Amino acid sequence: MHWAISGLAIAMALIAAPLFLDLAIAIAGNICPARRRRAAAKRPIRLAAIVPAHNEEAMIARTVASLHAADALTPVLVVAHNCTDGTANQAAAAGAEVFELNDPAAHGKGAALRMGFALAAEMGFDAFLVVDADSVVSSNLIAATQAAMELGAQATQCRYELEVPPANSRNAAARLRALACRGMNVFRPAGRVGLGFSAGLFGNGFALTQETLNRVPFSADSIVEDLEYHMSLVSGGLRVDWVEDAFVRAPVGPPGMAQAVQDSRWAGGRLGVARRWTGRLVAAILRGRWRAIASLCEAWSLPLSYGLALLLLAALLPVPWLHAAAWGCAGIAALYIIGTIFLGDDPLRDFAALVAAPAHLGWKAAILPLVLRQSRRRAEWARTRREAPRP
């Protein structure tokens, strides 16, 4: 029995380690960010915005208008991928250049992105900003992205947050989802870059140069094509720069079965990609590409809710060293949550939203079987029902 308990304790520690190391990196990098030297000379960059879209007729016009408001001279290329609604018509009416990809064999968002990159390159553009078709962008996103690339960035990622409409601003569950997204897509990448690692890619608000695509072709086709391609970049010795002061925002999804399926597809896809890429990331680390350490942690990082559940289970085992480790990890989690809250514009309401954490933990536990099933499947690109926020 003693050996069984010890083995379980070691297994729990190993499972939780990537998450809490990832959080520790984020905290350290946000507290004491290292200064990174940039090239003094600028290089000319011609940037195009690419919007991959699958059945987004309800919000595509809003996205195109947002990009035009950021920079009226930057072309917006919409790739309508196997759409069965009016996405193409709505995008064209809003002023985008629309290209339709109607091929049942072209699975996933990756196919739409490859088409968009190729079309923009044929038009003479040498950098590509990717924005999801349900999002709005800050007025400085295009200028900030172009400026970073002109100073030598090979790839960039801006802040990616969920928007909670004013009508739902007191909804604890909605604010908690937005808070979790801010932690994953703002606090963690800022911290990674602060310690010299690559920021990461989040599928929305990222940009690549043609030079980067020539060096590391975009071949990712999983449901988490952003994570998969980022691992390719890091394994190839490249890094993603962080555009701190610009953002993209997408509406928070409604609760229910549709969101459960989407969450499980995303988490399951991450698990599947982690299994396939661990060997290559370890090989990259052994070749001296130390930035792959953070990517390895990111790949195997549990959702924070699962990590906290493990800490609660650790308290039940009669293993003193595990208790000490659990207390240390709990402290890391607390600092991470507090840091993420203060990156938002309404900390008091975000603190109040933590009352929904137990229900969120139960939700994550309930969809765990779905996550494990999805990790073994080739997921299709399926739209999660969202609506543009209303006042």
| Residue 106, in any domain of the structure | no
Say if residues 156 and 245 touch (Cβ distance below 8 Å). no
| Residue 144, in any domain of the structure | yes
Sorted by sequence, the CB contacts under 8 Å of residue 358 that are 6+ apart come out as: none
Spatial CA neighbour of 295 closest among 198, 167, 176? 198
- Is the pLDDT confidence value at 258 over 50? yes
Structurally, the chain folds into a number of domains equal to: 1
| Residue 155, in any domain of the structure | yes
| Residue 381, in any domain of the structure | no
| Residue 79, in any domain of the structure | no
Give pLDDT tens digits for 214-235. 999 999 887 788 999 999 999 9
| Residue 114, in any domain of the structure | no
Sorted by sequence, the CB contacts under 8 Å of residue 7 that are 6+ apart come out as: none
- Is the pLDDT confidence value at 13 over 80? yes
The span from the CA of 314 to the CA of 323, in Å, is: 7
What is the H or E stretch that residue 234 is in? helix 225-235
At position 345, the amino acid (one-letter code) is D
Domain region containing 20: 2-33+126-374
Say if residues 197 and 239 touch (Cβ distance below 8 Å). yes
Q: 305 pLDDT band (50/70/90 cuts)? A: confident
What's residue 259's pLDDT? Answer: 62
Give pLDDT tens digits for 52-83. 999 999 999 999 999 999 999 999 999 999 99
At position 286, the amino acid (one-letter code) is L
- Is the four-CA dihedral 250, 255, 261, 267 of positive or negative sign? positive
Question: Which is it for strands 241-251 and 136-137: parallel, antiparallel or unpaired?
Answer: antiparallel
Write down the mean pLDDT value for the chain.
Answer: 88
Other beta carbons less than 10 A from residue 86's beta carbon: 16
Question: Which is it for strands 97-101 and 155-163: parallel, antiparallel or unpaired?
Answer: unpaired
- Is the pLDDT confidence value at 391 over 50? no
Separation in Å, CA 134 to CA 83, 226, 234, 309, 381: 14, 17, 28, 32, 14
| Residue 48, in any domain of the structure | no
Give pLDDT tens digits for 356-382. 888 777 766 666 666 666 555 555 555
The span from the CA of 304 to the CA of 269, in Å, is: 17
Percentage of residues in the chain having pLDDT higher than 90? 65
Q: 35 pLDDT band (50/70/90 cuts)? A: low
Ramachandran angles phi, psi of 54, nearest 5°: -135, 105
| Residue 206, in any domain of the structure | yes
The DSSP output letter for 369 is H
User: What is the pTM assigned to this prediction?
Assistant: 0.90
SS in 3 state form for 252-290? CCCCCHHHHHHHHHHHHHHHHHHHHHHHHHHHHHHCCCC
